[in-house]
Structure 1
Amino acid sequence: MKEELISYWKTYGVIRDKDVLQAFKDVPRENFVPEKFADQAYIDSPLPIAGGQTISQPSTVMVMTEELKVKTGQKILEVGTGSGYQAAILSKLVGSKGKVVSTEIVLELVDFARKNLERSGIENVEVIEHDGSLGYEKEAPYDRIIITAACPKIPEPLIKQLKNGGILLGPVGSILRGQEMIRITKKDDELKEEILGEFLFVPLRGKHGFKEK
């Protein structure tokens, strides 16, 4: 199933970056889904985890990873750890000299992600129980910031914690009608914004997320 996905992505030009494809090969997605869904790990669809959250479909994770343009040695902030899978992929790209700081507001998922990363032998990811919509100032600034849940707008604290020359990526829009993937590049303290397509994510929680009913 894993090789079939890779073949599909290559054939249709979904993923072109060889390093991103290698990261997908190196990270066992079955380690990041609930045990009862292990046999569905390489179906290209989201799967439920806990706390009303999901692990995104593989193609979404890979497209976001490629569009983030990660380089070796960088420090990345991830907003919304979930299962830890996206962080694991990013960890392979930053390498041993880089670091992924991943925030998660749901305690159950913090524990789940830490266990998944540990059993996958990944050591350069730090998972923190925290409202990621506020960023994580202690480790700022960041070369890259990735938001893995839908935002009403990009939280201002994240923009402030992005390095000059850095890239921020996240889905912005409506919970019901879907979101546009926004990529923001900061250069000389000016922001360049690009729209990269339409997606559907669970809502971001926290101060700068969607208000909970």
Structure 2
Amino acid sequence: MDPVAAAFAATPRAGFLPRRGRRRARYDGPLDIGHGQTNSQPRTVEAMLQLLEVRRGQHVLDVGAGSGWTTALLAHLVGPRGSVCGVELLPELAAWGAANLAAAERPWASIVEARPGVLGLPEHAPYDRILVSAEADELPDPLVAQLADGGRLVVPVAGRMLLVRPRHGDVQVTEHGYYRFVPLL
């Protein structure tokens, strides 16, 4: 089975939705999780994870962790020898996402509240992979700086999904379709 499909099978979306939204867990669209944020469309999450090419044992950053679903999916992909750091700016969502993640029993992953004015978690860099589940106006250079040489960053920027790959001081950026996300704050 494809690793991303296996992660989806092992990580049901319903456990990362508010009770009122769980009956719609199979809906292939974004679902409201409160505070003006959404749980992303499964097809979009799948496309992003395929682009990210997460491998076992990697160190991964999940920006805009929200409900914790993408953090849990990433944790499944890296396995217990890897690590996933989720970061969420909204305190209520960070706490709720961390509780959802704890229920998924993947202790090699965590979600913390973001520090205002700091994008990502530079103190834990470099990361092999970075996933961003909110739309930036321009390529977020602070996240590119937290990426290991040969790593991969998947981020929606101005409506386009970008794959960013630093290699030996050069940064390759490719576009992979058009998407809509909540804004990266």
Q: Tell me whether the two structures share a fold, i.e. TM-score over 0.5.
A: yes
> 1:183 aligned to 2:163?
yes
Residue 122 (structure 1) shift: 2.0
CA distance in 2, matches of 1:96, 1:189: 31
1:168 corresponds in structure 2 to 153
Match of 1:144 among 129, 141, 146: 129
Q: Residue 155 of structure 1: CA displacement?
A: 1.4
Select which of 142, 145, 148 maps to 1:157: 142
TM-score by length of 1: 0.84
**Aligned partners of 1:190, 1:197: CA distance in 2, in Å?**
23
Residue-by-residue CA offset, 1:73-121 (whole Å, 9 max, x unaligned) = 0001111011000111111110001011111100010111011111122
Say how many residue pairs are matched: 184
Deviations 1:47-72 (A, max 9, x none): 00021100001111111011101111
Tell me, which stretches of 5 or more residues in structure 1 are unaligned? 1-16, 174-178, 206-213
Match of 2:44 in 1: 60
1:91 aligns with 2:79: no
> Deviation digits for residues 14-68 of structure 1, max 9, x if unmatched?
xxx7111011000021100000111110110110002110000111111101110
Is 1:76 paired with 2:32? no
State how far apart, in whole Å, the 2-side matches of 1:133 and 1:148 are.
Answer: 16
Report if aligned partners of 1:133, 1:155 keep a CA contact under 8 Å in 2.
no
The 1-side partners of 2:169 and 2:55 are apart by 21
Indicate the larger mover: 180-189 or 123-132: 123-132
Question: Matches of 1:100 and 1:180 in 2, distance apart?
Answer: 25
In structure 1, the residue matched to 2:182 is 202
Cα distance in 2 for residues equivalent to 1:181 and 1:159: 15
Which structure is larger by alpha-carbon Rg, 1 or 2? Answer: 1
Identity %: 38
CA-based RMSD of the aligned residues comes to: 1.2
Per-residue displacement from partner, 1:162-202 (whole Å, max 9, x unpaired)? 100011110000xxxxx000001111021111000000000
